[in-house]
Copies of this chain bind each other. A is one copy, B any other.
Amino acid sequence: MGGDAAPEMVLAGLELAAERHPGAKFLLIGDEARLTPLLATHPRARAACLLRHSAEAIAGDMKPTLALRMRGASMRMAIDAVAAGEADGVVSAGNTGALMALAKIVIKTLPEIDRPALAAIAPSARGDVVMLDLGANVQCDARNLVEFAIMGDAFARAVLGLPSPTIGLLNVGSEELKGDDRVRQAAEVLRADSGINFHGFVEGHDIATGTVDVVVTDGFTGNVALKTGEGALKLMRDLLRQVFTSSVPARLGYLLARPRIIEGMGRKLGLPTERVVVKSHGGADAMSFAHAVDVGMDMVTHGFTQQIRTGLARVSTQALPSVAT
């Protein structure tokens, strides 16, 4: 029931996902009265899913503290199904704060991880780039950054299928002495014997260049950077639209370029918990919702949480001072 175009978008996405993953079974939770007629027009989704009625839905702007009390909400019932072992993971396009709060409290995050993170896959000149954290943690210490690096490594292996993804730590410069204590301490741990392919510091422009496969940063910077990049691309698209509708040859040029121009920056979000919880964008369409399902399937299939555990066992962050509150 979550997302701007739900539930129609979710059903259309599920239809695509059911086609891509023939063996998969889906537990669809929401308002039966609205979902039943939609299932009638989506035969693959109907064949692959079990419908469970929920009378309530968490609104997009509801505070997480209030959302936690709605025990009959569709999102809560989906999270409960994962906690009970009925499902391996959840995919939702609903309220991000509520989903994170429910995942943390009901499913519980990996005990070794201090805090869960929000990740996105951004396009770059060289292919997909995983970026985290994007706002789940506005204040981070060196230890959190190291954990995000391990999670990003596991995410890139599981979802992008990279055998040894390169990891970069976002900073104001690429030299070892740049930045604050927090990033320098995290880099020192990652450089030492973390078992991950640590590239070193990267800068803002390295995200779009695709210098590394995974870009690690704190939630404040990551959130601002992602939105700034999205905003810059949107400005460019709007300018282009004006320019390219100003004459016939320009219009032709625009039509040719459109398929690549419409590609945005952030595509989907995932946050690692004991089970897998994938957050699809609130403005997702059927294609991107189906893609979020792919991400969840990949994470489950490739033992995402086990990879994080293995990664964490390799690094020691005990010596790091904690600077976040």
Contacts and interface: CB of A to CB of B under 8 A. Distances in A.
Interface of A: 123-125, 135, 138-139, 170-172, 179-181, 203-209, 217, 219-221, 223-236, 238-240, 243-244, 246-247, 249-254, 256-257, 260-261, 265, 325
A205 B230 contact: yes
Nearest to A258: B243
B252 A231 contact: no
A204 B230 contact: yes
A154 B119 CA distance: 38
Contacts of A204: 223-231
A84 to B, nearest CB: 33
A233 B236 contact: yes
29 contacts: A125-B235, A135-B172, A138-B172, A170-B224, A171-B224, A172-B223, A181-B325, A203-B227, A204-B224, A204-B225, A205-B231, A205-B234, A207-B228, A207-B231, A209-B231, A224-B225, A229-B229, A232-B265, A236-B261, A239-B260, A240-B240, A240-B261, A243-B257, A249-B249, A249-B253, A249-B256, A250-B253, A252-B253, A253-B257
Among A209, A227, A250: residue with most chain B CB under 10 A:
A227
A224 B235 contact: no
Contacts of A257: 240, 243-244, 250, 253
Given A172-B220, A253-B253, 6 more contacts: A204-B225, A208-B231, A217-B224, A228-B229, A244-B253, A250-B256
A83 to B, nearest CB: 28
A179 B325 CA distance: 13
B247 A256 contact: yes
Given A225-B204, A225-B228, A219 B256 contact: no
A257 B244 CA distance: 7
Contact of A232 (B139, B180, B232, B250): B232
Contacts of A244: 253, 256-257
Contacts of A234: 205, 208-209
A170 B221 CA distance: 10
Contacts of A252: 249-250, 252-253
A123 B239 CA distance: 11
Given A205-B230, A229-B228, A257-B244, A179 B235 contact: no
Given A135-B172, A230-B204, A250-B253, A236 B236 contact: yes
Contact of A221 (B207, B209, B224): B224
Contacts of A139: 180
Contacts of A170: 224
Nearest to A243: B257
A238 B125 contact: yes
Given A243-B260, A244-B257, A256-B246, A206 B231 contact: yes
A234 to B, nearest CB: 6
Contacts of A229: 204, 228-229, 231-232
A220 B179 contact: yes
B220 A205 contact: no
